[in-house]
């Protein structure tokens, strides 16, 4: 890891550190908002968002590790770590659906709860996009630009399907180990009988399109400042 970091250019190291500092500051804001609400309302209603944020950090941590070592790590390491990344990746954009929990409640102003959940949803989305950028770059370096974008598109569609599994069927990433038969049956049933599960594919395609357009926009915005005058 240290040798791989040493091989990065100074602008790359600076960019990585700046990104981690910004994400860290944004995550700190979310944690403070959640903590303050606990003391304000004397209830732990939104404390579950701390766990959701932790799950969202996992794919970013994995992609950061791969991004820093991809030039040296063998495919036999990249493939299983990449599979674990894909398994946990939907947890990051999943936080967007925590907006379902927003409603007027006693103990805290409605606008405060809106800001709290939006902060967590924003962090989940940015962690997802930052992580996917790393993984797309790895694929693009090995297989080309087109393969990189194909990978990003498939990853976002799969993550949208994962969001459906998590939000509506209440599966978790670790159910692939703890409850594989039920998970496999529910997935296969929706693939074999799509007309009987229109909601599944509606969520998958609509959220997938939204996430893909958002990702492409963020990537384009990131390059605007790099264009020559």
pLDDT in tens, the chain (229 residues): 444 554 566 777 888 899 999 999 999 999 999 999 999 999 999 999 999 999 999 999 999 988 887 566 677 888 999 999 999 999 999 999 999 999 999 889 999 999 999 999 999 999 999 999 999 999 998 899 999 999 999 999 999 999 999 999 999 999 999 999 999 999 999 999 999 999 999 999 999 999 999 999 999 998 886 655 4
Contacts (Cβ under 8 Å, ≥6 apart) of 205: 157, 160
Tokens 């309302």, residue located: 41
Kindly report the pTM of this predicted structure. Answer: 0.92
The pLDDT of residue 5 is 52
Task: Take residue 130 and report the two structure tokens written for it.
Answer: 């930052």
In sequence order, what are the residues at sequence separation of 6 or more whose Cβ sits closer than 8 angstroms to the Cβ of residue 173? Answer: 55, 87, 88, 90, 91, 162
3 state DSSP class of 66: helix
C-alpha–C-alpha distance, residues 206 and 28, integer Å:
31
First-to-last C-alpha distance (Å) of the chain = 37
* CA-based R_g, the chain, Å: 19
Spatial separation of the C-alpha atoms in residues 193 and 205, rounded to whole Å? 16
Distance separating alpha carbons of residues 180 and 21, to the nearest angstrom: 38
The angle that helices 180-192 and 145-167 make with each other, rounded to 10 degrees, is 110
Find the angle CA(223)-CA(25)-CA(91) to the nearest 5 degrees. 75
């Amino acid at each position: 890891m240290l040798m791989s970091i040493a091989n990065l250019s100074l602008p790359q190291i600076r960019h990585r550190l700046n990104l981690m500092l910004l994400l860290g500051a944004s995550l700190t804001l979310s944690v403070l908002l959640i903590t303050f609400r606990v003391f304000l309302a004397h209830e732990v209603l939104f404390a579950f968002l701390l766990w959701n944020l932790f799950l969202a950090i996992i794919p970013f941590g994995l992609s950061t590790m791969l991004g820093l070592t991809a030039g040296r790590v063998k495919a036999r390491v990249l493939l299983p770590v990449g599979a674990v990344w894909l398994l946990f990746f939907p947890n990051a954009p999943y936080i967007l659906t925590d907006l379902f929990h927003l409603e007027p409640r006693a103990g805290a102003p409605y606008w405060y709860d809106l800001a709290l959940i939006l902060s967590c949803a924003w962090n989940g989305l940015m962690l997802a996009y930052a992580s996917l950028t790393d993984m797309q770059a790895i694929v693009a370096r090995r297989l080309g630009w087109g393969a990189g974008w194909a990978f990003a598109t498939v990853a976002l569609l799969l993550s949208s399907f994962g969001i459906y599994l998590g939000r509506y069927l209440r599966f978790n990433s670790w159910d692939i180990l703890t409850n594989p038969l039920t998970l496999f049956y529910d997935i296969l049933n929706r693939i074999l009988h799509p007309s009987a599960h229109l909601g599944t594919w509606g969520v998958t395609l609509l959220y997938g399109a939204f996430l893909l357009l958002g990702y492409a926009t963020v990537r384009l915005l990131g390059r605007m400042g790099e264009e020559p005058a």
